[in-house]
Amino acid sequence: MDAQDLKQYIRDVPDFPKEGILFRDISPLLLNSEAVAAAAEAIAAPFRDQGIERVLGIESRGFIFGAPVAQALGAGLVLVRKPGKLPWKTHQVSYALEYGEDTLEMHTDAIEPGQRVLIVDDLIATGGTAAATLELARRCEADVAAAAFLIELEFLNGRSQLDSNVHAVLKY
């Protein structure tokens, strides 16, 4: 399956979760195992020869693609989670939302200094979530290869929030 054919499995849902937001729903894609495999392959492809040692999957849809991407690259998977979910010692980074703020956490022993890492999520919108994850990676002195996404909402210019390489398979 060609990566660009994956767009047919993304469902557009107007006004979710609130008025004015066009939600890009990956649920139809997840129903198709070939589409999931092709999506993971397309996310991982540019990094096959880059010595990636850790993939950081961002809760929760980033876990879905982070796991097969980590397998494809022969890397370990790190869970970047909402507060209070991780049982061990954590680094925490808070970031601004439209209203209020949110926090992400990662285990302090998930990345060794200098390890080469790839950040993975399903979608980049404003870039705030990925920027916070980049900050978590840097707290561990990671060598960040890139942040990689299945979908980029280009009009929001989220990649300008990231001082790293950015890879996106499908652009809207």
90 binds ligand AMP (CB under 6 A): no
Let me know if 98 is a catalytic residue.
yes
Structure tokens at 58: 């961002």
Nearest distance from residue 114's CB to ligand AMP, in Å? 27
21 binds ligand AMP (CB under 6 A): yes
User: Residues in contact with ligand AMP, total (CB under 6 A)?
Assistant: 16
| Residues 132-161 close enough to bind ligand AMP by CB under 6 A | 158
Beta-carbon contacts of residue 99 (< 8 Å; ≥ 6 apart): none
Let me know if 61 is a catalytic residue.
yes
123 binds ligand AMP (CB under 6 A): yes
Q: Count CB-CB contacts under 10 A for residue 57.
A: 25
Per DSSP, the chain holds a count of helices (H) and strands (E) of: 4, 9
Q: Count CB-CB contacts under 10 A for residue 2.
A: 7
Which is the catalytic residue, given 11, 24, 34, 98? 98
Which is the catalytic residue, given 61, 116, 138, 139? 61
Query: Nearer Cβ to ligand AMP, position 3 or 125?
Result: 125
- Burial per residue of 114-141, b for 16 or more beta-carbon CB atoms within 10 angstroms, e otherwise: ebbbbbbbbbbbbbbbbbbbbebbbebe
Structure tokens at 171: 């652009």
126 binds ligand AMP (CB under 6 A): yes
76 binds ligand AMP (CB under 6 A): no
Positions annotated as catalytic residues are: 61, 98
Applying CB under 6 A, the residues found at the interface with ligand AMP are 21-24, 61, 121-130, 158
